[in-house]
Amino acid sequence: MPKTVLTARDLESTPPGGELLVPRGTIVTALAAEAAAGRGITIRFEDPKPAPGSAVPPASRTIAIAADHGGFDLKEQLKSYLREWGYTFLDLGTSSRDAVDYPDFAEAVANAIVRGDASLGIIIDSAGIGSSIAANKVPGARAALCYDRATARNSREHNDANILSLGAKLIAPEAAREILAVWLQTPFAGGRHLKRVDKIRAIEARHSKSAKPAGQS
């Protein structure tokens, strides 16, 4: 199950100098940590209480992540957060700042999602636009370019996005961290949204059937 996110707003009901007990593994945003320090609030994590016979973390905790040269540095930072939050990840490249082509890495993540190697994916380039376009060419991929907490939440809650696209040159690393935290902990709402996501799948299926190999008229 995705981790809980503690934001600065969640601290409003805690008096200065007080203590806030949160589940172990809760993602504390940078703004929340700053607000707690400023008001003398201690954030304490509960001791874990695993259920008897609890299983190994499921495959749903595996995240596929990749970036081109423009997103390499942010990819490395986000990997450390995933590790801190208890996720495992598949790093599908790139491995340096040397120039590469973003479609290759976007496709690699999308393929990993469709195959079931990971439940969710992250793709990063300078603007995030090209990678999201490329990933969405793979049937079954629903990549969403997110640039704040609201778009991150909406893409998961309403669209059941399974790939997060980020623009490393357009958002600060700390903003990317918070976007990722919200995106990971927001479940798909289902209900009326399921019908709409099903229509997206139907469009995809119709065009997959009508597609012809290159060179055929």
Q: pLDDT per residue over 129-175, tens digit each?
A: 999 999 999 999 999 999 999 999 999 999 999 999 999 999 999 99
Tens digit of each residue's pLDDT (9 = 90 or more) over 97-125? 999 999 999 999 999 999 999 999 999 99
Does the pLDDT of residue 60 top 70, yes or no? no
Where do the H-state alpha helices sit in the chain? 30-39, 72-84, 102-115, 129-135, 149-157, 173-185, 192-210
Rounded Cα distance, 24 and 47, in Å:
6
Rounded Cα distance, 14 and 36, in Å:
9
pLDDT for the residue 1: 37
pLDDT for the residue 45: 65
Of all residues in the chain, what percent carry a pLDDT higher than 70?
86
**Can you give the residue ranges of every domain in the chain?**
5-45, 59-185
Widest Cα–Cα separation across the chain: 73
pLDDT for the residue 4: 67
Q: Which one of 3.40.50.1220, 3.90.1150.10, 3.40.1400.10, 1.10.10.10 gives the CATH number of domain 59-185?
A: 3.40.1400.10
- Tell me the one-letter amino acid at 69: H
H/E element, 143? strand 143-145
H/E element, 27? strand 27-28
Pairwise pLDDT comparison (213 vs 159), residue with the higher score = 159
Q: Which residue numbers are catalytic? A: 158
Contact between 120 and 161 under an 8 Å Cβ cutoff? The reply is no
Tell me the CA distances in angstroms from 26 to 5, 45, 71, 72, 181, one per residue in order.
6, 8, 26, 26, 10
Rounded Cα distance, 122 and 163, in Å:
5
Q: How confident is the model at residue 48 (pLDDT cuts 50, 70, 90)?
A: very low
Pairing type for strands 62-67 and 120-125 reads parallel
The model carries a pTM of 0.72
Tokens 């490393």 belong to 168
Instruction: Give the three-class secondary structure for 148.
Output: coil
By CB neighbour count within 10 A (0-12 exposed, 13-18 middle, 19+ buried), where does 129 fall? middle
Rounded to the nearest integer, the mean pLDDT of the chain is 86
pLDDT for the residue 57: 40
Pairwise pLDDT comparison (33 vs 67), residue with the higher score = 67
Q: Which residue from 170, 115, 200, 132 is spatially nearest to 208, judged by alpha carbons? A: 200
Does the pLDDT of residue 8 top 60, yes or no? yes
